[in-house]
């Protein structure tokens, strides 16, 4: 049963990354699945049009080859190679150049990691690598934090997309700092923003979309689920629901209760009193 087909078509409003239009606001990673076929089925169930591939990780496992590329190409999706595992700007630039040769794409998800425990982005190395890659013709999707100063430098370097983390990669904690994420959304109203990393449940993805974020990128929450295909479907529906809610206009929270049914001016019925004659 195709649950995604039941989502009203008018919710699939267009989103563009570097002039490339996509209808799905879900980006999905291709690592950690129990098998390549499960990965392919999850991607299809999600309806996503962009998948990320780690060149360094898959090369280490011997997966980047004709068979893996054939499977990815059969999914009819845009490939977003990433520089996962890179610790320096130089290392990230070299990996990006290798990815461009392998996948024939100028898109690159840029990761420069500073800390082994949190996998937090190295903002200094990130900006340095972004400047070099943009000058080299890449279309950079930088994995960053909610730091507005770093975000401004990335935009100034030529990045036309920002991908702030929700929480450390693979933690499933959801949006650890929603206030900062809301601030970033308000600070960059014209820049596509994608919450990347830390998403563990469909409700986390819906929350990000309700804030006005343009898309969500996730991997572990789907790949490590007991049923990755069903989980991919659940995330796709949650992302669409969050987008619909944002577009519809969420009610503001209140400190005090407010009756949903007005009292003044309405008749009062005493059901226990006998009828008058």
Tokens coding 53: 């591939």
Question: How far apart, in whole angstroms, are the C-alpha atoms of residue 238 and residue 241?
Answer: 5
Q: Using the 8-state DSSP alphabet, how is residue 168 labeled? A: S
Q: What is the rounded distance in angstroms from the CA atom of residue 31 to the CA atom of residue 38? A: 11
Among 44, 109, 135, 139, the one annotated catalytic: 109
Which region holds residue 170: left if phi is over 0, alpha if psi is between -120 and 50, else beta?
Answer: left
Residue written as tokens 């082994």?
Answer: 116
Q: What is the four-CA torsion angle of 81, 83, 85, 88, rounded to 10 degrees?
A: 180
Rg of the Cα atoms in the chain: 22
Q: Are residues 52 and 80 in contact, defined by beta-carbon separation less than 8 angstroms?
A: yes
Sequence-separated (6 or more) residues with CB below 8 Å from residue 152? none
DSSP-assigned states of every residue in 246-264: HHH-PPPP-SS---SS--T
CA–CA dist 175, 161 (Å, integer): 19
CB count in 10 Å sphere of residue 239: 27
d(CA 246, CA 214): 10
**What is the full DSSP assignment across 17-28?**
ETTEEES--EEE
Give the Cα separation of 261 and 123 in Å (integer).
Answer: 51
Active site residue 44: no
Residues with catalytic roles: 109
């Amino acid at each position: 049963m195709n649950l995604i087909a039941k989502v009203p078509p008018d919710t699939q409003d267009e989103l563009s990354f570097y002039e490339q239009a996509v209808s799905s606001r879900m980006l999905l990673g291709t690592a950690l699945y129990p098998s390549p076929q499960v990965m392919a089925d999850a991607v299809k169930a999600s309806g996503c049009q962009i998948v990320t591939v780690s060149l360094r990780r898959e090369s280490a496992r011997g997966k980047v080859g004709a068979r893996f590329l054939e499977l990815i190409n059969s999914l009819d999706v845009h490939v977003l190679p990433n520089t996962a595992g890179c610790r320096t700007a130089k290392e990230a630039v070299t990996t990006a150049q290798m990815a461009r040769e392998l996948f024939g794409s100028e898109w690159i998800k840029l990761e420069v990691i500073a800390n082994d425990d949190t996998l937090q982005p190295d903002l200094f190395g990130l900006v340095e690598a972004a400047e070099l890659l943009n000058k080299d013709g890449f279309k950079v999707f930088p994995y960053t934090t909610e730091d507005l100063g770093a975000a401004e430098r990335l935009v100034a370097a030529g990045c036309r997309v920002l991908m702030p983390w929700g929480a450390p990669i693979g933690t499933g904690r959801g949006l650890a700092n929603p206030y900062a994420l809301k601030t970033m959304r308000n600070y960059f109203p014209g820049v596509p923003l994608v919450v990347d990393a830390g998403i563990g449940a469909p409700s986390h993805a819906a929350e990000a979309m309700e804030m006005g974020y343009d898309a969500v990128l996730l991997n572990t929450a789907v790949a490590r689920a007991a049923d990755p295909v069903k989980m991919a479907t659940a995330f796709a529906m949650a992302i669409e629901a969050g987008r619909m809610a944002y577009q519809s206009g969420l009610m503001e929270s209140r400190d005090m209760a407010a009756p949903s049914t007005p009292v003044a001016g309405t008749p009062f019925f005493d059901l226990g009193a006998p009828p008058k004659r």
